[in-house]
Amino acid sequence: MAGRVIIPLAVGLVCLSWILRAATAYVPFQSYGFDFGSYYAQALVLRDDPARIYDIHAALGRLPGAAPGLPGMPLYVGPVSYPPAFALLMVPLTYLPVDHAWLLWSITNLAATVWLASHAASHFRPERRGLVTILALLSTPAFASLFYGQPTPLLGAALSFAYDRLQRQRDLRAGMWLGLLAIKPHYLIFLSPWLIVRRRWGAVAGLAVTVAVIALLSLAAVGTSTLLTYPLSLADQGDFSGTGGTANVGVMVNWRALLVLLWPDVGSATGIVIVTVLGVLTLVPLVVRIRKTATPNEEGTSLECALVLMATVLVSYHSHAHGILLLLAPLCEVLSDPRYRYSRTIATLGVIVPVFLMAPMLLLSGDVSAAYPLTGAFLLLLYASLLWESRPAFDGHPAASASVMGQTEASPNVSAPFPAP
């Protein structure tokens, strides 16, 4: 009964706040999506001076009125730490005025986000798919992705295609779609070893092919000497708390962000040691479970894929809220199973609580930064809960999981936020 009141109220509150912000043309709509301005400027540099693609001064020179580090300005331009192939992809947009290009980019990302949310919700019962889609669209990751003009919805769609093909044993195609994540290579740091451990050699081969194509396109676009400077762009992250660099730790959802939130004055060396230890502690239970499990069936593959991606977001040194969109397809398939009743509750609260927090913040100040670490905390709880509730499945007795949880497909938990599919 409470869900029938809370969820519509949350939806209405957030929609109202977004409409008011759009009507007053506040920051999200004046700054061309924050990150989009950087992508657009870098693509302009690529057109006429490829050797300076990672030179922030060259990017600033292409867009009058741009100001680095000042999100409240009409246009934000900062360093971009993506492979040159991404700038090549953005070049067609530079033949449009920046405001028209931003509008086209935003519509494309919005369409990808809606498709991603509805596709992920298709794992639930038909009468619940609309609700799940709305919750996904109102989540902090979806908001952050559209707010910043990130390409994450497009990468999320690519990963969703890859996931579907993995489930159908079409590994080569799955790997080729996964290879597109090389645009944000840290998301492949655990997915690649997982494919190798599970002997999905076709997926490994497909991934290698796409990564090679991206590398060759980058080489053709900027040349060898400039391509070799790409790793240096990844190092411009400032100290552990993000001071003096381009990293905005306040909008991250990983161990680093949670530690900085709890200990703002932590030194870089101390912080790195602590998050390294926490990262190892995060990964060990998952690695042990995977090693104890034989080749998983379709259900086991979705569970492992979701857990590997969640661990990636939590452990990565540079991990923003919008990256959680990559989890939608495998995570929704897992959570559609009524056996994971506690995890479903945590996931629902992980959407609703930050939504209630964001709405008044948007109305009063436009600052929603507090919602991001809160989302990270819920992600950590969800990861721990899924590991705990999936113990019977990992032990090779999936049927036992239903008895442990007191759930079966035929007897859904009527109190769960997401009823059985």
| Span 202-242, pLDDT tens digits | 999 999 999 999 999 999 999 988 888 888 777 666 667 76
pLDDT of 157 > 90? The answer is: yes
Confidence of residue 12 (pLDDT cuts 50, 70, 90): low
Average pLDDT value over all residues in the chain? 81
SS3 of the chain: the string is: CHHHHHHHHHHHHHHHHHHHHHHCCCHHHHCCCCHHHHHHHHHHHHHHCHHHCCCHHHHHHHCCCCCCCCCCCCCCCCCCCCCHHHHHHHHHHHHCCHHHHHHHHHHHHHHHHHHHHHHHHCCCCHHHHHHHHHHHHHCHHHHHHHHHCCCHHHHHHHHHHHHHHHHCCCHHHHHHHHHHHHHCHHHHCCHHHHHHHCCCHHHHHHHHHHHHHHHHHHHHHHCHHHHCCHHHHHCCCCCCCCCCCCCCHHHECCHHHHHHHHCCCCCHHHHHHHHHHHHHHHHHHHHHHHHHCCCCCHHHHHHHHHHHHHHHHHHCCCCEHHHHHHHHHHHHHHHCCCCCHHHHHHHHHHHHHHHHHHHHHHHHCCCCCCHHHHHHHHHHHHHHHHHHHCHHHHCCCHHHHHHHHCCECCECCCCCCCCCC
Task: Give the pTM.
Answer: 0.84
Q: What is the pLDDT of residue 192?
A: 95
pLDDT reported for residue 33: 62
Return the pLDDT at 412: 39
**Per-residue pLDDT at 243 exceeds 70:** no
Q: Which residues pair with 320 in a beta bridge?
A: 252
The CA-CA-CA angle for residues 210, 214, 220, to 5°, reads 140
Phi and psi dihedrals of 408, rounded to 5?
-145, 165
Band of pLDDT at residue 16, cut at 50, 70 and 90: low
pLDDT greater than 70 at residue 392: no
Please check the confidence at residue 30 and state whether its pLDDT lies above 80.
Answer: no
Which tops the pLDDT comparison, 413 or 357? 357
9-13, 98-102, 280-284: range with highest mean pLDDT? 280-284
Is 332's pLDDT higher than 50?
A: yes
- Among candidate residues 128, 113, 127, the one with its CA nearest the CA of residue 348: 128
Indicate if the pLDDT at residue 35 is higher than 60.
yes
Q: What is the mean pLDDT of residues 18-45?
A: 65
Higher pLDDT, 36 or 364: 36
**Mind listing the pLDDT tens digit for each residue in 111-152?**
999 999 999 999 999 988 988 888 888 888 998 888 888 999
Least confident of 22-36, 111-125, 383-397: 22-36
Query: What share of the chain has pLDDT > 70, as a percent?
Result: 77
Percent of the chain scoring above 90 in pLDDT? 45
Burial grade of 372 (CB within 10 A; 0-12, 13-18, 19 or more): buried
Averaged pLDDT, 51-76: 72
The residues, ordered by sequence, that sit 6+ positions from 224 with a Cβ below 8 Å of its Cβ are: none
Residue 362 burial class via C-beta count within 10 angstroms: exposed 0-12, middle 13-18, buried 19 and up: buried
Span 344-367, average pLDDT: 77
pLDDT of residue 318: 87
